[in-house]
Structure 1
Amino acid sequence: MNKLNLTKEESLNMLNLRKEKINLLCLEKKPLNNLISRVGVVFDFSWSMDDLYKNGTVQSVLERLFPLALQFDDNGEMEAWIFDNNFYRLPSITMENFYNYVKDNILHKYMMGGTEYSPVLKDIYKKYMLEDPEKLPNYIIFITDGENQDRGETTRVITKMSKYPIFIQFVGIGNCSFNYLKCLDEMKGRYVDNANFFEVNDINDINDDELYNKLLSEYPVWLEYKEVKKMIQNQKQKKNKDIFKRKRYLENGEVVMEIIDTIFDILDIFS
C-alpha cells in the first residue's frame, strides 16, 4: 500500500526511485526512448474529492506523477490544473515546490463544486496550442472520481482536440461507474484516438510499477500515429511578442495570415 504524508526526505528518496522505474519502463517502449514531451496534470476538485485532498491522497498522487515530468518534460516541470464546474490554472509543479504542493497551492484557496470536464479541457488546448505552442507532444493526466455533467460538450471538445498534438490519459479513482469515460474508445468523429481511460478503486493500493505501466500504455501508441507526427511537425511556434511592430511581417502579409489562423483555431475549439 502506498504511504501517505511522507517527510520531505522520504518524498525525495521516493522521487529518485520512481525516476529509475520510469526510465527502465521507457527503455522497453521505443516511442518513449529519449522522448521530449510536455506533461500536465489535472485534478478533480469536486465536493466528493474533499477527503482525498485532506487525507494526503492527492498530494501522494501528485508525487507519483511528477517523475513523469522529470523524465519527459522539456523544462522538468509539470503544468497543473484543478477543476469543478470551472477550472483553475495552478503554478507549475517543480523540484522546488512539489513537496506540500497541495497544502501550499490548493487547500483553503478555492471552493469545491460539481464535475464538468470541458472547461478545463478548453483551457488545456488554449495553453498548449494558442499561448505556448511548441513542436512537441503534450501528455495530460486527468484525475477524476466522478461522472461529468457536461457529456455532450466534453465529447465535442475531445473530438475537436483530436486534430492537435494533445493526448489525454483519464484516470478514474473511487467506486464511481465512469460510464462516460468507459465509452471513450467508441467516440466517433475523432481525427485520431487521443484519449485513454483506466480506473482504480483505491489508488493507494496500486503499486508504482502497475501505475506507470497503465499510464504509459496508450501514450506511446498515439505517438506513433503518422497523423500525430504530422501534427507535431506542423505546430506553429509562437512568434515574438512585438510581431505587430515588425515591418517585414506587414510587408508580406504574414501578420494578417497569423491573425486569421489564430481566430480559426479559437473558433474551432470553443464553438
Structure 2
Amino acid sequence: MHRAPVTVTCLALAALASGCGDNAPTEEEIDDAKARVERVAASTHLVRGALEVLGVMPVYTCGEPRRGFLGHAVEGLASRVSCAKATVTAVDDVTDAVVLSFNDGGCDVHGLRFTGQAVLEYRGGEDLMEMSADLRGMTVDGQPLNAEVGYGTCGDETRLFADVMGDVPGRQGHTFHVNSRVGKREGLPIIGGTSLVFDGPGELTGPMGTDRVTFSSLLYEVGNYLPKEGVALVETAGGRTIKMAFQPVLWRVGKVEVTVDDKEPVTVPVVR
C-alpha cells in the first residue's frame, strides 16, 4: 500500500530533543536541524524515485544484441509491472528508445507511485552500453520529476548517475538539485534489486539562501522512505555545519545522529 512519506518523516523527527551538557545544541539549533533533516529526506526521496524507474526495465546483459534485449525486456514487462507498458522505436543505427508509460491512475512500484511516461535511450550494445532516461514527463508520489538518470555498462566499470532537481515536497519556497553517483553493494544487482547506494553533491535552496549537501554512502532499501545508513552533510548558507548519520537498529527501526557544528550529537529514533 502506498504511504504518505511526509507524515512518516514528521512522526520520526518529533522525538528530537536537546542533549545534556554545556556543549549541547540549543532548542533553536535543534529546531533548525529538524527542518533541514526533513528537507533533505523529502529531496532524496525523489532522487530514489528517479533511480527506481531504472529498475522497471532489466539491466542490459553484456554481449546480447541491443534490439533483441529490448524486445525481450518489453515483452516481459507486463508480468513484472502490470500497470506499465513500453514500446521500442529506432532512433538511429546505434540507438533505440523505449517509451515507458504508467497507468493514468498511478502505478505502485517498490512503495512509490509513478504516473506519466519516461523515455529511455539505449546506445551501443554488446561491448559497451550507455542508457539515459529522461523523466521530465513523470511524477513520483504526485511530485513532478525534472530528472535524468542512467548507467553505462560492459566497459571497465559500471557507472550509474542521477541528476534531479525540483521543488522540495511539502516545503513551499524550497527547491533542490542533486547530482548523484550511484553504486552497488557487493553481491547486489546494479539496479532494481532490494537496495541502492548513492553518493554525490546537492543543493537545497530556500528563503535563507542555498545550503550545500554532500551525500556519502546513503543506503536505501526498497519501500523505505528514509535511508538505512549513510551520511548527509549540510553546509548552510549561514555558515553552519549539520551532519546527519543514519544507522540501522532493528528491521525498519533506525536512528539518525544529528551533529550541529561541534556541539554534542543528538540521537533521533526513526521509522524508515
Q: TM-score, normalised by structure 2?
A: 0.32
Q: TM-score, normalised by structure 1?
A: 0.32
For CA contacts below 8 A with separation 6 or more, give which structure has more relative contact order.
Answer: 1
Normalized per residue, the structure richer in helix is: 1
